[in-house]
Amino acid sequence: MKTTFAKPQEVDRKWYVIDAADKPLGRLASEVAKILRGKHKPTYTPFVDTGDHVIIINADKVALTGNKLNTKMYRHHSLYPGGLKEVPYKKFLAERPEKAVFIAVKGMLPHNRLGRQMVKKLRIYRGDIHPHQSQQPEILEILNKK
């Protein structure tokens, strides 16, 4: 019996809408990364982008468990001496919730050119309105496991 590999031109892509309201950020990001990679499909091939498109709505209502909202910091560096910038996650989520979700999902994808190709299929919106109705996306429910 031969192993079959998916070819990039033969991949069938679907569109999914995920509501991020009251979902823990890490659990949401891991489920979205799984869909973007294509691990939910029987045709999954590690070296081919077999994933689907994902639209995340209500990114401003995402939840953080425990005391992370008050203690976690978003850090980045300007690459200049003394250029470390720190922003409390409470402020970061209030100002840029799309970027917070994007960083969480991107961190769970492969860190190579394949991962950069996969993250292009992710769309994140602050409210519950998105401009992708013509793609006829399916609503995908992610459970809150506590």
Question: Quick count: other Cβ atoms within 10 Å of Cβ 35?
Answer: 23
Q: Which fold has domain 14-139?
A: Ribosomal Protein L13p; Chain: A; (3.90.1180)
CB 3 within 8 A of CB 47: no
Grade residue 1 by pLDDT with cuts at 50, 70 and 90: confident
Boundaries of every domain in the chain: 14-139
CA 43 – CA 35 distance, rounded (Å)? 13
Grade residue 22 by pLDDT with cuts at 50, 70 and 90: very high
The residues pairing with 16 across neighbouring beta strands, listed in sequence order, are 54, 138
Grade residue 143 by pLDDT with cuts at 50, 70 and 90: confident
Report the chain's terminal Cα–Cα distance, integer Å: 42
CA 103 – CA 13 distance, rounded (Å)? 23
pLDDT score at 146: 56
Indicate the SS3 state at residue 47.
coil
Region 19-40 average pLDDT = 96
pLDDT score at 142: 87
Question: pTM of the predicted model, to two decimals?
Answer: 0.92
CA 47 – CA 11 distance, rounded (Å)? 13
